[in-house]
A and B are shown apart, each in its own frame.
Chain A
């Protein structure tokens, strides 16, 4: 956290700032320490956490933009994402349950994530104009 002390603005709430940084640090750690035996190496984690600290101010706006973007999803696509979330991301098991090829489902979910990310970025860009 102290590596990012430079991003703390004097006069603002230090506790809140520190909580936010720790919160995301912990999330990254936990995420990369999940079921997969594959972890990002320390250099990349350090790079990501440094840039994430600067990126955090976008988080709230992205969340709000996402809510709007999700409304534009077709109901079956939204249902697929919902089912995927409920299945904790196990796409192979989900594909079996749905009688579809795992690769097809991966591609579809990747496409939906990309479309949502594009929509979120587009909305934020429009807001900043």
Chain B
């Protein structure tokens, strides 16, 4: 596919996303997708980019003005309308929770109320860590990891212990925890609450580039209802936020990553993903460390 063909293809994709294809353009897009495998691959990339754009941008303020409330709007999935009742049934079942709320909250001196996190500083030296997605709240789970004391020149950021995330050949390590939001105080505010998650990461090998990531999902299901099947449907969450930090080679010490998420009151669980990605295959042999995980409910200052 030459650059002009690719340019044209993305014009068609954009028009398709805006539901403004003319019949001629629709026929052109269909024909191109039908005959060109590369066009189909680009179509899948485009679909993922669209989904990601909505997930990332829907939670951001539309205007930089302060104290402006942006009307909550459905995510792109919610906009798609089914043709038939049967399809609607399927879609409602799968997508009813797919609403991303975007609010602008006036920033000032916020009140931080810490939320209970299980073993936030990994001070339980014998703490078991389940494999895969957690089977409920009150536990850490994920890829291979162990609670350790200082080692490889890395000392715990808080207390005496930290979590060592063992290196994996695929270069991605993840640790999960599910928090129960059902007991959160009602407090003030509108349809959503703002929650901040922070965690600190460190590398045994500071010479390798790494990306540390926190992802948070606001989920309508109760914590005990979440399982590995939910993991594969996680993009249905009613709210999500991601923050990643690229750490350049030679950067030593703890790197703190934080992310804020607007969680609709309908959310009963908050699912946390804490992860690392090591792009350099040759550097996937040394561990990373995690410590000092904090989750706080943010309450905006009262209006004057």
Contacts and interface: CB of A to CB of B under 8 A. Distances in A.
A114 to B, nearest CB: 4
Contacts, number: 176
Interface in B38-55: 40-46, 48-55
Contacts of B20: 36, 91-92
Given A26-B95, A34-B81, A44 B33 contact: yes
Interface size class of A (residues with CB under 8 A): 35 or more
B37 to A, nearest CB: 8
A44 B30 contact: yes
Contacts of B95: 26, 30
A92 B171 CA distance: 44
A22 B6 CA distance: 30
Sort chain B's interface into a size bin. 35 or more
Nearest to A75: B64
Contacts of B10: 110-111, 113-114, 117
Given A33-B83, A81-B57, A89-B76, 20 more contacts: A30-B81, A30-B95, A47-B34, A48-B33, A51-B40, A52-B44, A58-B48, A62-B49, A63-B55, A66-B56, A70-B56, A88-B73, A110-B13, A113-B46, A117-B45, A117-B49, A120-B45, A120-B48, A120-B49, A127-B279
Interface of B: 6-7, 10-11, 13-21, 23, 26, 30, 33-34, 37, 40-46, 48-58, 60, 62, 70, 73, 76-77, 79-83, 87, 90-91, 94-95, 102, 171, 211, 213, 228-229, 231-233, 236, 242, 244, 246, 277, 279, 281
